[in-house]
């Protein structure tokens, strides 16, 4: 069985071998060497001078944690354009925060001017944005959003890049992102269970004043432990081994080559979409580079298509997320995919497409 769903994605043999290395003590010198050793590459990948933290949780842990660390008595604006970004509003409210929605229709991006209009109302402490909304295949214009955020220096920007990290450039410091977070099982093609994040100086200043940060996701605990190349609690050491191996892969390929590879593979899928008379769910100019959300304008039986792919080719494809089930299907090109693997996928899709 091979996964072409947009997360978890297929994990390579090499990553698995690293994942399965024997355990070491998490307060040992060996661990500190492992942890400290990957920091320079992590910082380079995050394009930040700040430390990069590793949280043994899925991305949602840090998504919740960022709200708890950066939002006190003021409001948080949750920008919503799909399943994951919509859920962030509920999560903020469950943390007891005053959360407001900036909701656009699923399939549309979040635009800078929409955020500006909301923030002008005043009283906001932070904004959450999902860079690449995995459920709809929409890539929101992050640079445009970051430029708007400069007009509101007291409002901090929290960005989820779970399915765009290392796919397109995201210069954290240059764009002024306050919390940049990602998860292990999508764009990074590792097993699920680890989240990576970095926080700006402004984010730490805010966290110092915010009460009720809790312990497990307290940014100040992460910062304190990082000084000694450690995590606050016992981390998933296996994931850190896997991450070390993945960083080796990424820097061997070269970061910009990696971006280019994703663009090329994404274009291959795009050509398949057009060739077969389908449309894209996301508008031109705002399409994800790591997955394609295909609009089922032909009205095919998506469930049968997905089942045939599985039965005949051992390929797992997604038949649409939540309310988009059957109305769309999603093709992932994230992680370690190659020209060969994507060409094979598209041939299998041709074979299973109802006439
Ligand atoms: C998958 C996904 C998440 C949630 O990740 P978990 O690992 O389940 O916590 C969050 N944001 C985006 C954009 C995702 O694609």
Instruction: For residue range 290-313, list pLDDT tens digits in order.
Output: 999 999 999 999 999 999 999 999
From the number of C-beta atoms within 10 Å of its C-beta (0-12, 13-18, 19+), residue 83 rates as middle
Q: Sketch the domain layout of the chain as residue ranges.
A: 13-251, 254-352
Asked if 132 contacts 162 with a C-beta cutoff of 8 angstroms, the reply is yes
User: Taking 80 as the threshold, does the pLDDT of residue 69 lie above it?
Assistant: yes
**Residue 217 · residue 61 · CB < 8 Å:** yes
Percent of the chain predicted with pLDDT > 90: 99
CB of 313 within 8 A of CB of 352?
A: yes
DSSP bridge partners of 294: 280, 329
CA distances from 237 to 22, 185, 330 (A): 9, 16, 32
- CA dihedral in degrees (302, 304, 306, 310; nearest 10)? 180
Cα(139) to centroid(ligand 1), Å:
14
Ligand 1 site-directed mutation target among 3, 5, 6, 7, most atoms within 8 Å of CB: 7
pLDDT band at 112 (very low <50, low <70, confident <90, very high): very high
Specify whether the CB–CB gap between 149 and 110 falls below 8 A.
Answer: no
Q: How far is the CA of 6 from the centre of ligand 1 (A)?
A: 10
pTM of the complete model: 0.98
Answer for the pair 290, 137: CB distance below 8 angstroms, yes or no: no
Confidence at residue 120, expressed as pLDDT on a 0 to 100 scale: 98
Fold that domain 254-352 belongs to in CATH: 3.90.1150
Pocket lining: 158 vs ligand 1, CB cutoff 6 Å: no
Place of tokens 């970061």: 255
CA of 277 to the centre of ligand 1 (A): 30
Specify the 3-state DSSP secondary structure of 56: coil
Do 183 and 55 meet the contact criterion of CB atoms below 8 Å apart? no
Contact between 102 and 114 (Cβ < 8 Å): yes
Q: Which atom of ligand 1 is nearest to the CA of 132?
A: 13
- Give residue for tokens 């850190």: 240
pLDDT value at position 342?
Answer: 98
- Name every residue whose Cβ is closer than 8 Å to that of residue 350 and which is 6 or more positions away in sequence: 272, 276
Q: How far is the CA of 84 from the centre of ligand 1 (A)?
A: 7
**Ligand 1 within 6 A of 163 CB?**
yes
CA-closest residue to ligand 1 atom 2? 162
Specify the 3-state DSSP secondary structure of 18: helix
Quickly state the pLDDT bin for 124 (edges 50, 70, 90). very high
Considering only CA atoms, give the Rg of the chain: 20
- Residue 266 token pair: 């994404």
Local confidence band at 262 (pLDDT 50, 70, 90 cut-offs): very high
Determine the residue of 59, 85, 282 to mutate for testing ligand 1's pocket, defined as the one with the most ligand atoms within 8 A of the Cβ atom. 59
Task: Report the C-alpha gap between 145 and 129 in whole angstroms.
Answer: 9
| Tens digits of residue pLDDT in 264-295 | 999 999 999 999 999 999 999 999 999 999 99
Q: What is the mean pLDDT of residues 216-225?
A: 98
What separation in Å is there between the alpha carbon of 30 and the centre of ligand 1?
Answer: 31
CB 91 within 8 A of CB 58: no
Contacts of 140 (CB under 8 A, 6+ apart): 79, 81, 109, 110, 111, 129, 130, 131, 132, 133, 286
345 neighbors 314 (Cβ within 8 angstroms)? no
Contact status, residue 57 vs residue 30, Cβ threshold 8 Å: no
Under DSSP, is residue 272 helix (H, G, I), strand (E, B) or coil? Answer: helix
Distance 137 CA to ligand 1 centre (A): 13
CATH fold of the domain at 13-251: 3.40.640
State the distance from the centre of ligand 1 to the C-alpha of 28, rounded, in angstroms. 31
Is the CB of 162 inside a 6 Å radius of any atom of ligand 1?
A: yes
C-alpha span between 139 and 1 (Å, rounded): 29
Q: CB–CB of 305/328 below 8 Å?
A: no
What is the distance between the alpha carbons of residues 282 and 139, in angstroms, rounded to a whole number? 8
């Amino acid at each position: 069985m091979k996964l072409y769903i947009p997360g978890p994605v297929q994990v390579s043999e090499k990553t698995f071998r690293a994942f399965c290395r024997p355990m070491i003590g998490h307060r040992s010198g060996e661990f500190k060497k492992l942890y400290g050793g990957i920091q320079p590459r992590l910082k380079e990948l995050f394009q930040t001078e700040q430390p990069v933290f590793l949280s043994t949780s899925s991305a949602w842990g840090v998504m919740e944690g960022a709200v708890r660390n950066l939002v006190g008595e003021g409001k948080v604006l949750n920008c919503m354009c799909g399943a994951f970004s919509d859920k962030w509003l509920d999560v903020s409210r469950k943390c007891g925060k005053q959360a407001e929605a900036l909701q656009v229709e699923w399939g549309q991006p979040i635009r800078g001017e929409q955020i500006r209009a909301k923030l002008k109302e005043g009283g906001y402490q932070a904004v959450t944005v999902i860079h690449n909304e995995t459920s709809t295949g929409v890539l929101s214009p992050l640079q445009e959003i970051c430029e708007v955020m400069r007009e509101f220096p007291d409002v901090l920007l929290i960005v989820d890049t779970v399915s765009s990290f290392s796919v397109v450039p995201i210069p954290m410091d240059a764009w002024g992102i306050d919390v940049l977070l990602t998860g292990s099982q999508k764009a990074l093609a590792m097993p699920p269970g680890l989240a990576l994040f970095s926080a700006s100086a402004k984010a730490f200043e805010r966290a110092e004043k915010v009460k009720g940060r809790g312990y497990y996701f307290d940014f100040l605990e992460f910062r304190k432990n990082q000084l000694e190349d450690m995590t606050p609690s016992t981390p998933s050491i296996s994931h850190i081994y896997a991450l070390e191996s993945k960083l080796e892969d990424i820097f061997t390929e070269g970061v910009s080559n990696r971006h280019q590879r994703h663009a090329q593979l994404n274009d291959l899928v795009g050509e398949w979409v057009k060739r077969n008379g389908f449309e894209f769910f996301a508008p031109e100019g705002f399409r994800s580079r790591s997955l394609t959300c295909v609009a089922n304008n032909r009205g095919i039986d998506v469930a049968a298509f997905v089942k045939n792919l599985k039965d005949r080719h051992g390929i797992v494809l997604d038949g649409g997320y939540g309310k988009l089930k059957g109305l769309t299907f999603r093709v992932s090109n994230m992680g370690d995919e190659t020209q060969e693997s994507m060409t094979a996928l598209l041939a299998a899709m041709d074979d299973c497409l109802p006439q």
